Amino acid sequence: MGKPTGFIEFLREVASEVSPSDRIRNWDEFHLHMDEDKLRTQGARCMDCGIPFCHTGTVISGMASGCPINNLIPEFNDLVYRGLWHEALDRLHKTNNFPEFTGRVCPAPCEGACVLGINNPPVTIKNIECAIIDKGWDEGWIAPNPPTQRTGKRVAVIGSGPAGISAAAQLNQAGHWVTVYERADRPGGLLMYGIPNMKLEKQSVVMRRLNVLEAEGVTFVCNTEVGKDLPVEQLLKEFDAVILCTGATKPRDLPIEGRDLKGIHFAMDFLTANTQAVLDQTETPLSARGKDVVIIGGGDTGTDCVGTSIRHSCNSLVQLEIMPKPPRRALCG
């Protein structure tokens, strides 16, 4: 624990954001970087708890509490406080293959579980995680690191979402030859075509990591749906093991009166078409421009549709949510 009185002395502060009126003009990420000094101060707020609930991922009443991948949070908070960024990055990579993704889009159950959050705003764990990995990339500390020995075994991974690429990264490091099959035209699963660009940039963040995996020896085969374009029997013949990481493509429908009217779309059709258009620099076939939009669902996916519709310059927007309206200010920060 770097500073025993840090949690008493310093208030929670998060990175500032591009103003809403500016950010809706483009698809760029809108979280700005924080000064190193400020990040170190935020790291000093960590109490290095005897029982760090932040890092113990567990399920309470069906909801995740603490970090599901058991990131070594008190350790990297302390290392950041002491300015030991490279060591913090090593610690972060011990449990997390892709901190630049989680540091941006994880809902941070670690912060919800942070002990300091009982009577104060919790430690800014997600912000610190993101700063560590971004610094790692900026400093050139992250470079292809292929395994020194190969086992000669071949593994096929079906699906290139976070599950598929994490499995590929681990198996490749263990020395196996890994081929990832993806039915979409680009790898990344929902990192690429679900989460919109302003929350997770595709070229500068997602592809940057996938390029490193490729340079380490992982092969990506896109536009190939296993079971349709490629028979399963062929995979079983050519590979020693096959891993299924195909995600959950099936949308949850709402079979109510009027469902078959024109102009009603699933979120993923809308979001995928949009990201494809952003990346290909074309017009999306499903634009909300000039339309009066109703979004059913107030979770992350609904929010992504709000941000996308507003960037399309929709005429009006209403979002419907079954849960009560949350308070205007978060209770813990």
Ligand X SMILES: Cc1cc2nc3c(=O)[nH]c(=O)nc-3n(C[C@H](O)[C@H](O)[C@H](O)COP(=O)(O)OP(=O)(O)OC[C@H]3O[C@@H](n4cnc5c(N)ncnc54)[C@H](O)[C@@H]3O)c2cc1C
Q: Residues in the site for ligand X, rule: CB under 6 A?
A: 105-107, 158-164, 181-184, 189-190, 194-195, 199, 225-227, 245-247, 267-268, 271, 300-301, 304
Nearest approach, Cβ of residue 25 and ligand SF4 (Å): 36
CB of 211 to ligand X, least distance (A): 17
- Closer residue to ligand SF4 (CB): 42 or 309: 42
Query: Shortest gap between Cβ of 323 and ligand SF4 (angstroms)?
Result: 27
301 binds, among ligand X, ligand SF4, none (CB under 5 to 8 A by kind): ligand X
Q: How far is the CB of 50 from ligand X (least distance, A)?
A: 29
Does residue 305 bind ligand SF4 (CB under 6 A)? no
Region 150-189 residues binding ligand SF4, contact defined as CB under 6 A:
none
Q: How far is the CB of 189 from ligand X (least distance, A)?
A: 3
* Alpha-carbon distances of 253 from 248, 268, 284, rounded to whole Å: 14, 12, 23
Of residues 52-81, those binding ligand SF4 (CB under 6 A): 52-54, 73-74, 77
Among 67, 89, 115, 213, binds ligand SF4 (CB under 6 A): 115
Q: Contact region for ligand SF4 (CB under 6 A) — 45-53, 141-149, 286-294, 322-330? A: 45-53
CB nearer to ligand SF4: give 109 or 189: 109
Per partner kind, with CB cut-offs from 5 to 8 A, the member of ligand X, ligand SF4, none near residue 175 is: none
283, 284, 285, 288 alpha-carbon torsion, rounded to 10°: -110
Instruction: Decide: helix, strand or coil at residue 112.
Output: helix
Q: What angle do CA 46, 48, 49 make, to 5 degrees?
A: 115
Work out whether the CA dihedral 5, 10, 11, 16 comes out positive or negative.
negative
Stretch that binds ligand SF4, among 43-51, 84-92, 128-136, 171-179 (CB under 6 A): 43-51
One residue of 79, 88, 114, 226 binding ligand SF4 per CB under 6 A:
114
Number of helical (H) and strand (E) elements in the chain, helices listed first: 14, 8
CA distance 44 to 78: 7
Q: Which is nearer to ligand SF4, 125 or 206 (CB)?
A: 125
Q: How far is the CB of 289 from ligand X (least distance, A)?
A: 20
Other Cβ atoms within 10 Å of 22 Cβ, number: 11
Residue 66 binding: pick among ligand SF4, ligand X, none (C-beta 5-8 Å cut-off by kind) = none
Sheet of 241-244, strands arranged across = 219-221, 177-181, 154-158, 241-244
Binding partner of 125, given ligand X, ligand SF4, none, CB within 5-8 angstroms per partner class: ligand SF4
H-assigned helices in the chain: 6-9, 20-23, 36-44, 73-81, 85-95, 99-105, 109-113, 125-138, 162-173, 190-193, 208-215, 232-238, 267-280, 300-311
DSSP string, 145-180: ---SS----EEEEE--SHHHHHHHHHHHHTT-EEEE
Of these partners, ligand X, ligand SF4, none, which one is at the site of residue 159 (CB under 5 to 8 Å by kind)?
ligand X
* Smaller CB separation from ligand X, 53 or 181: 181
DSSP 298-321: -SHHHHHHHHHHHHTT-SEEEEE-
Distance CA 94, CA 128 (A): 16
Contact of 83 with 3, CB cutoff 8 Å: no
What backbone torsions phi and psi does residue 219 show, to the nearest 5 degrees?
A: -100, 130
The residues that touch ligand SF4, with contacts defined as CB under 6 A, are 46-49, 52-54, 73-74, 77, 114-116, 123, 125
